[in-house]
Amino acid sequence: MLETFPNPRPGRPYLVESVTDEFTCVCPRTGQPDFATLAIRYVPGERCVELKSLKLWLQGFRNEGHFHEDVVNRILDTLVEHLDPVWMEVEGAFARRGGIETTVTAAHGRRPQGV
Amino acid sequence: MLETFPNPRPGRPYLVESVTDEFTCVCPRTGQPDFATLAIRYVPGERCVELKSLKLWLQGFRNEGHFHEDVVNRILDTLVEHLDPVWMEVEGAFARRGGIETTVTAAHGRRPQGV
Amino acid sequence: MLETFPNPRPGRPYLVESVTDEFTCVCPRTGQPDFATLAIRYVPGERCVELKSLKLWLQGFRNEGHFHEDVVNRILDTLVEHLDPVWMEVEGAFARRGGIETTVTAAHGRRPQGV
Amino acid sequence: MLETFPNPRPGRPYLVESVTDEFTCVCPRTGQPDFATLAIRYVPGERCVELKSLKLWLQGFRNEGHFHEDVVNRILDTLVEHLDPVWMEVEGAFARRGGIETTVTAAHGRRPQGV
Amino acid sequence: MLETFPNPRPGRPYLVESVTDEFTCVCPRTGQPDFATLAIRYVPGERCVELKSLKLWLQGFRNEGHFHEDVVNRILDTLVEHLDPVWMEVEGAFARRGGIETTVTAAHGRRPQGV
Amino acid sequence: MLETFPNPRPGRPYLVESVTDEFTCVCPRTGQPDFATLAIRYVPGERCVELKSLKLWLQGFRNEGHFHEDVVNRILDTLVEHLDPVWMEVEGAFARRGGIETTVTAAHGRRPQGV
Amino acid sequence: MLETFPNPRPGRPYLVESVTDEFTCVCPRTGQPDFATLAIRYVPGERCVELKSLKLWLQGFRNEGHFHEDVVNRILDTLVEHLDPVWMEVEGAFARRGGIETTVTAAHGRRPQGV
Amino acid sequence: MLETFPNPRPGRPYLVESVTDEFTCVCPRTGQPDFATLAIRYVPGERCVELKSLKLWLQGFRNEGHFHEDVVNRILDTLVEHLDPVWMEVEGAFARRGGIETTVTAAHGRRPQGV
Amino acid sequence: MLETFPNPRPGRPYLVESVTDEFTCVCPRTGQPDFATLAIRYVPGERCVELKSLKLWLQGFRNEGHFHEDVVNRILDTLVEHLDPVWMEVEGAFARRGGIETTVTAAHGRRPQGV
Amino acid sequence: MLETFPNPRPGRPYLVESVTDEFTCVCPRTGQPDFATLAIRYVPGERCVELKSLKLWLQGFRNEGHFHEDVVNRILDTLVEHLDPVWMEVEGAFARRGGIETTVTAAHGRRPQGV
């Protein structure tokens, strides 16, 4: 479902950051909805992710049950598999539950110096 | 009372941050309530902390008397004991008393590079 | 427990507003703590409330169980009884539970024009 | 599904405001999710709405298709039917689509003076 | 080009507000682009404006030359013609030129009480 | 020096607001520079003020000495003379001197209802 | 000590607002310093207050003991006596003590319409 | 079209940053306008860019179709060609589409230490 | 006058930060009051500073005359003498005088890595 | 015109930062005023700059024509000449012209570690 396109400037390490506050999935214990602000940052390798397909793919989590720590790592793993980036980081800042706000951040590869 | 669960992605050093502005304990000198915003940040080792049990455990400080410097180090020590994290930091930002706001920050272990 | 003192300027309708973000009580259903920002606004009649006694009296709710709608009206009723103000308003903005923030505002008497 | 309880202070016109930024439904044209911050303000009549049941009822819109103008009026109508409030206002601030943020606000009854 | 649809709740005076910070036209004197945040607020009569057609219609100003005072009144006039609202207000906040930020606000009809 | 142009919509009472934070003049006592944010709000009569000429005219105060209360009323008087507006307000918020920020606001005519 | 000068535009009701966050006096009970942001707003009558003398006069409260409700009314009374304004309001927002922020606002005369 | 002038202090590595929130181009797929805040940061070599010509050159993208990743790298390449800077970075923060905000950042050369 | 107590966790390098916006002293040239926000940050050695005594000691500067650069270094020297910390930093951000805000920051010792 | 005084703590590398948003000069091309926020940061050597003389000296640029890149480097050069600091940085953030805000930052010497 995720579409990609060739990196228009493959020789240069540059940064792409996409942020959405419209991510929602379901708590696997209680079945109640969770909400998060999701940030995806990467230095493209051969390919970039097409934004409309990214949006639709993220919407697919809407009715799935996932723990916070799990869903962030899972999004990272799938994007890495499709894009093979030089470096990628996924950060999920989940809305307050029981008075606690939890943010999970995972990365793949090594961020190039100066990027 | 603190429950833990197995780290779903043990091979990757990633960051979990939980923040609450609903921490309260009691001043051991005056018996009057103190309020703080508490941030717990860690790179999980074998286990993660379950959030509901974290909330209930933190509520247990409500009527206990503790100095600022002491309670932050004590929370860190107990969490480290239960989770054995790669790295953990606890920051307590206490509400203004006598015109002064005090923040205490303590850490355990070495934060991995790039996390 | 609430102390009062004579209004230093009884002939003039003027406004006193006291706000605290350190109000906490307990949910009567679940026994878990609730947190609120409480604002008390009044036009004094014969007497003003002494602030230190107000603080101590509000601390007395710490371990009592009260519904949001109830505790705001109860604080208003007690303060009105002790101060007999020209006008008084109590607003309690309770911390988010289940993704919902609830504010209850109750008033006594008629706010004088131009105050 | 909406539960109510008796107004603890029926003789006094006071204000209750509940706000959530976790409301989501589906666009009836495109099938894609919409997100909104929803504010419900009312002066209770004989009954108040119980917050946990309000949360669960609002979650029920999650996979339903509704136009912005329609869903706000519909929420107002249903709450009015269950609570028969002195006055009620529902405001839905919907997340940006095509560069436009749209807010719909509808009310029932007449807001009492000084509330 | 502007599409409308029937007001889903014609018997109730309620408010619709649409705001975009992506409005741009051209200065008729210098030919250089102007940028504005545009807010459209109205109480619908028989019909509401469809948001996608509103977006596309506003994009049509992109390469047209208009004075600030003129374009705001013109947008109001056209929307009133298509929607025949009970009340409508258009506010254009134009980006700083020569150190001056200018906002033009025009309205049609009388805003109903309590809306 | 102030240029005007015919009001493009003379039959409708609408609001024009121009704000600049680049106003500066000189203190008549000490000879040192004063800085202010100046807001000019008006409902046009027969004519509107051209913005570039407004900017240049306001620059003319740069090396003149004026008291705060005086310069705001003087700007209002001159603009009223050139534009004969239905209503006009001039607000000057002067930068902090001796720890005090002073704002002077003067108006001419009666602001039409609903504008 | 307060100096005044003739109102440069006595025929027009306009607003002067002076705000300082450098007001400090002493608590008459504990002898410890209190801090406040003080706002003085007035519509001048025959005379305006000179700002440097206002600053110096306010500095005179530095080592005096005053209750919040008292000092605000006292500043208002003295300024009214020196300026005989059409309308004047004094607002003192005192720094948090015991978790409570208190604001006292008093006025003299009737604020003219449209000012 | 881009004009340059000689660096007035060629012996010292210093930073120039120009930011505009008035950048707009067109989506090459849908033909609809995109909006971005563009930041250009550089350490000048022999020449600096003249700001008015920079503004006019950036306006030239207004009706051109470009992908986000492409236009940022293209602006960087052209500026590098004209200025031959010691270091340059271009950052484009594009307005939200489908609930996602995307920022692309590309750099040329190595930022000198301490700048 | 400064009281200290034994560091409750002497084996761990952790951070204590105390901030007050209620610091005031007197300008030694003009005799007029100065206001500052003061931040004290340190990694405790054998002893921590007791907060109430810190507050009272800082109040002692209220009527003393000090230059900005001098008073910050002096506070640092005295605290270092009493606490012998691993590292300490004092930052004084002084309120605007003559349109200029000045901040002085001085440190003692070497901040441990990772704190 | 710039006055200096002996560094009161010459043995310690500490930071002094002075910021003013009241800097203005004239564009050498158009003759129109430019406005900037100017920050001067330095680690003093043998001498510190006296603030009142700094203010008066900066006021001297008021009616002089300077390019942005030039005036920042010129201020740095003159201050370095008078103070011979260990390290100094001058940052000028100029007000928006043609929709572009430009900031120029230049430094002299090497900032000491830990300051």
User: Is there a contact between B95 and G99 if contact means CB atoms under 8 Å apart?
Assistant: yes
Give the gap in angstroms from C-alpha C82 to the nearest C-alpha of chain G. Answer: 18
Amino acid at G26: V
Please write the tens of the pLDDT for every residue from G47-96: 999 999 999 999 999 999 999 999 999 999 999 999 999 999 999 999 99
**Does the interface predicted TM-score (ipTM) exceed 0.85?**
yes
What CA–CA distance (Å, rounded) separates D16 from D104? 19
What share of chain C has pLDDT > 90, as a percent?
A: 97
Q: Which long-range CB contacts under 8 A does G60-66 form with residues at least 24 apart?
A: G60/G1, G61/G23, G61/G24, G61/G25, G62/G24, G62/G25, G62/G26, G62/I33, G63/G25, G63/G26, G63/I63, G64/G25, G64/G26, G65/G25, G65/G26, G65/G27, G65/G28, G65/G31, G66/G25, G66/G26, G66/G28
Q: Specify the pLDDT at position G105.
A: 98
Q: Specify the pLDDT at position H68.
A: 97
Please write the tens of the pLDDT for every residue from B53-104: 999 999 999 999 999 999 999 999 999 999 999 999 999 999 999 999 999 9
CA trace torsion E98, E100, E106, E111 (10° rounding): 160
Q: Do chains F and I touch (3 or more CB pairs under 8 A)?
A: yes
What share of chain A has pLDDT > 90, as a percent?
A: 97
Q: Which of J113, J93, J111, J95 is nearest to J103 (CA)?
A: J93
Domain F13-109 class, CATH top level: alpha beta
Which chains share 3+ C-beta pairs under 8 angstroms with J?
A: E, F, H, I
User: Is there a contact between E99 and F14 if contact means CB atoms under 8 Å apart?
Assistant: no
**In which residue are the tokens 């606890």 written?**
B90
Taking CB atoms and an 8 Å cutoff, what residues of chain E touch D73? 8-9, 12, 14
Over residues E49-74, the mean pLDDT reads 97
Q: Bigger pLDDT: I11 or D58?
A: D58
> Taking all residues of chain G, what is their mean pLDDT, rounded to a whole number?
97
Searching chain B, which residue's CA lies closest to the CA of residue A113? B114
Over residues A54-64, the mean pLDDT reads 97
Residues in chain H: 115
Q: Do chains I and H touch (3 or more CB pairs under 8 A)?
A: no
Q: Do chains J and B touch (3 or more CB pairs under 8 A)?
A: no
Taking CB atoms and an 8 Å cutoff, what residues of chain D touch C72? 14
Q: Specify the pLDDT at position C1.
A: 87
H34 is catalytic: yes
Q: Specify the pLDDT at position A1.
A: 87
CATH architecture of the domain with residue range A4-109: 2-Layer Sandwich (3.30)
Please write the tens of the pLDDT for every residue from J82-104: 999 999 999 999 999 999 999 99
Give the gap in angstroms from C-alpha I102 to the nearest C-alpha of chain J. Answer: 4
H48 is catalytic: no
Q: Specify the pLDDT at position B11.
A: 87
Q: What letters, b where the CB count within 10 A reaches 16 and e where it falls short, cover J61-100?
A: bbeeebbbbbbbbbbbeebbeebebbbbbbbbbbbbbbbb
F63 touches chain J (CB under 8 A): yes
Classify G56 in phi/psi space as left (phi over 0), alpha (psi -120 to 50) or beta. alpha
D109 touches chain E (CB under 8 A): no
Q: Which of J8, J15, J18 is nearest to J38 (CA)?
A: J18
Q: Which long-range CB contacts under 8 A does C90-93 form with residues at least 24 apart?
A: C90/C38, C90/C39, C90/C40, C90/C41, C91/C38, C91/C39, C91/C41, C92/C23, C92/C36, C92/C37, C92/C38, C92/C68, C93/C36, C93/C37, C93/C38, C93/C39
What CA–CA distance (Å, rounded) separates G37 from G90? 11
Residue B1: pLDDT band with limits 50, 70, 90: confident
What CA–CA distance (Å, rounded) separates J77 from C101? 55
- Which one is catalytic: C21, C25, C34, C70? C34
Is CATH 3.90.870.40 correct for H15-101?
no
> Which residues have CB under 8 Å from H48's CB, separation 6+?
H4, H5, H6, H7, H8, H16, H83, J69
Q: Which of the residues F30, F42, F69, F89 would you substitute to probe the G interface, choosing the one with the greatest number of G C-beta atoms within 10 Å?
A: F69
D60 touches chain A (CB under 8 A): no
Answer for the pair C106, C78: CB distance below 8 angstroms, yes or no.
no
G31 touches chain B (CB under 8 A): no
- List the CATH code of the domain at I12-109: 3.30.1130.10
E24 touches chain H (CB under 8 A): yes
Please count the residue pairs, one from chain B and one from chain C, whose beta carbons lie less than 8 angstroms apart: 20
What CA–CA distance (Å, rounded) separates J38 from J59? 12
> Taking all residues of chain B, what is their mean pLDDT, rounded to a whole number?
96
Which chains share 3+ C-beta pairs under 8 angstroms with F?
A: E, G, I, J
Full pLDDT tens readout for chain I, 115 residues = 899 999 999 989 999 999 999 999 999 999 999 999 999 999 999 999 999 999 999 999 999 999 999 999 999 999 999 999 999 999 999 999 999 999 999 999 999 998 9
Q: Specify the pLDDT at position I1.
A: 87
Searching chain I, which residue's CA lies closest to the CA of residue G57? I32
Q: Bigger pLDDT: G27 or A1?
A: G27
Helix (H) or strand (E) holding B92: strand B87-97
Give the gap in angstroms from C-alpha A22 to the nearest C-alpha of chain B. Answer: 20
Give the gap in angstroms from C-alpha B6 to the nearest C-alpha of chain I. Answer: 27
Please count the residue pairs, one from chain G and one from chain I, whose beta carbons lie less than 8 angstroms apart: 20
Answer for the pair H66, H25: CB distance below 8 angstroms, yes or no.
yes
Q: Residue D22: is its pLDDT beyond 90?
A: yes
Please write the tens of the pLDDT for every residue from E5-17: 999 999 899 999 9
Q: Residue J1: is its pLDDT beyond 90?
A: no
- Taking the CA atoms of C49, C53, C57 and C62 in sequence, report the sign of the dihedral they define: positive
Taking CB atoms and an 8 Å cutoff, what residues of chain I touch B73? 8-9, 12, 14
Q: Residue H11: is its pLDDT beyond 90?
A: no
What CA–CA distance (Å, rounded) separates H97 from I37? 42
User: Is there a contact between G99 and B99 if contact means CB atoms under 8 Å apart?
Assistant: no
Please name the member of B21, B32, B62 whose beta carbon is closest to the beta carbon of C33.
B62
Please write the tens of the pLDDT for every residue from E75-110: 999 999 999 999 999 999 999 999 999 999 999 999
Q: Specify the pLDDT at position E1.
A: 87
How far, in Å, are D69, E14, E46, H13, J67 from residue E86 at the CA level?
16, 10, 9, 62, 54
Full pLDDT tens readout for chain F, 115 residues = 899 999 999 989 999 999 999 999 999 989 999 999 999 999 999 999 999 999 999 999 999 999 999 999 999 999 999 999 999 999 999 999 999 999 999 999 999 998 9
Q: Which of G103, I73, G69, I18 is nearest to B98 (CA)?
A: I18
- Taking the CA atoms of G77, G82, G88 and G89 in sequence, report the sign of the dihedral they define: negative
Classify C108 in phi/psi space as left (phi over 0), alpha (psi -120 to 50) or beta. beta
Query: For chain I, which residues make up each domain, given as ranges?
Result: 12-109
Q: Specify the pLDDT at position D85.
A: 98
Please count the residue pairs, one from chain H and one from chain J, whose beta carbons lie less than 8 angstroms apart: 61
Domain B14-109 class, CATH top level: alpha beta
What CA–CA distance (Å, rounded) separates B107 from B88? 6
Alpha helices in chain A (DSSP H): 51-59, 68-83
Which chains share 3+ C-beta pairs under 8 angstroms with H?
A: A, D, E, J
Residue C89: pLDDT band with limits 50, 70, 90: very high
Q: How many Å separate Cα D8 from the centre of its chain?
A: 21
E64 touches chain F (CB under 8 A): no
Give me J105's structure tokens: 């930052």
What CA–CA distance (Å, rounded) separates H59 from H25? 9
Taking CB atoms and an 8 Å cutoff, what residues of chain F touch J21? 35, 95
Angle at G80 between CA G76 and CA G85, to 5 degrees: 120
